[in-house]
């Protein structure tokens, strides 16, 4: 089976309820993806292998979600030049600010495109991936344009009472 263009990876099964938002949006846009649990802390060899083979397998964007000491996106970015879009998963103790800072503050040279905390960030990660793929894929570009137009059209111009 050929590798899809997008990999959605997450530090734990518990991140799936957040990262599912990215998968749902990619489904809407007709973009194939794979999903994996990969942890810098708990499965470092799996992380290494995923990053080492990403280019050769044909992955074009990696969406990486993690919470707390969220080292996964940055470590993945250190191992592959495939663009990594990071999603800070919301945590109970620190509301996801810990995840955000862990992902955001990369040293010069190894960037992670960091999204907002939580499911909106996961959805935006999928849209970011779509935008990257759309640069070289007219069909994805057309579907992304249509998706954006539909969202804009759904926003009322005048507020109403609930």
Ligand X SMILES: Nc1c(C(=O)O)ncn1[C@@H]1O[C@H](COP(=O)(O)O)[C@@H](O)[C@H]1O
The site for ligand X (CB under 6 A) is made up of 11-12, 14-15, 39-42, 66-72, 89
CB of 16 to ligand X, least distance (A): 10
Q: Is 42 annotated as a binding residue?
A: yes
CB of 37 to ligand X, least distance (A): 9
CB of 72 to ligand X, least distance (A): 4
Q: Which is nearer to ligand X, 31 or 66 (CB)?
A: 66
Instruction: For the chain, report the end-to-end CA distance as a whole number of angstroms.
Output: 49
Q: Is 14 annotated as a binding residue?
A: no
CB of 11 to ligand X, least distance (A): 3
Rounded (10°) CA dihedral 75, 12, 51, 88: -50
Strands (E), the chain: 6-10, 33-37, 61-67, 84-89, 113-114
Q: Is 98 annotated as a binding residue?
A: no
Q: Which is nearer to ligand X, 9 or 82 (CB)?
A: 9
Q: What does the alpha-carbon distance between residue 72 and residue 149 come to, in Å, rounded to a whole number?
A: 34
Dihedral class, residue 26 (left if φ above 0, else alpha if ψ from -120 to 50, else beta): alpha
Q: What does the alpha-carbon distance between residue 7 and residue 138 come to, in Å, rounded to a whole number?
A: 21
Q: Residues annotated as binding site?
A: 12, 15, 42
Q: Residues annotated as binding site for substrate?
A: 12, 15, 42
């Amino acid at each position: 089976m050929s590798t899809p263009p997008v990999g959605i990876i997450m530090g734990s099964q518990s991140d799936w309820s957040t990262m599912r938002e990215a998968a749902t949006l990619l489904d809407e846009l007709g973009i194939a993806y794979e999903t994996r649990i990969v942890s810098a802390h708990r499965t470092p060899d799996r992380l290494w292998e995923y990053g080492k083979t990403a280019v050769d397998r044909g992955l074009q964007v990696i969406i990486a979600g993690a919470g707390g000491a969220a080292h996964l996106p940055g470590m993945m970015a250190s191992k592959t030049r495939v663009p990594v879009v990071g999603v800070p998963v919301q945590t109970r103790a620190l509301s996801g600010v810990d995840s955000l800072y862990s992902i955001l503050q990369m040293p010069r040279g190894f960037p992670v495109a960091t999204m907002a905390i939580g499911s909106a960030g996961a959805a935006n990660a999928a849209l970011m991936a779509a935008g990257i793929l759309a640069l070289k894929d007219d069909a994805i570009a057309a579907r992304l344009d249509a998706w954006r137009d539909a969202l804009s059209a759904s926003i009322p111009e005048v507020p109403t009472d609930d």
